[in-house]
Amino acid sequence: MYKKVFKSEQRDKFLFLALTLETIVFKFKKNNFQFKTLQQLNIEILNNIW
């Protein structure tokens, strides 16, 4: 049932989001930012993309 609901457009958007977050996590780790700040940024990105 879940596969039927999960259209290819949504999948592409999800993959893009995952890659974006992965890149940000890498940059944040590199710059030694706090995880709390990273969580806040994740929320902002989710709001902007969806």
Amino acid letter, 42: N
Q: Which residues of the chain, if any, have pLDDT below 70?
A: 1-7, 28-38, 50
Cα(21)–Cα(27) distance, rounded to whole angstroms?
A: 10
How do the domains of the chain map onto residue ranges? 9-49
Cα(37)–Cα(40) distance, rounded to whole angstroms?
A: 5
pTM of the entire predicted model = 0.36
Amino acid letter, 8: S
Cα-to-chain-centroid distance, residue 4: 23
- What local confidence, expressed as pLDDT, does residue 1 receive? 43
Cα-to-chain-centroid distance, residue 18: 4
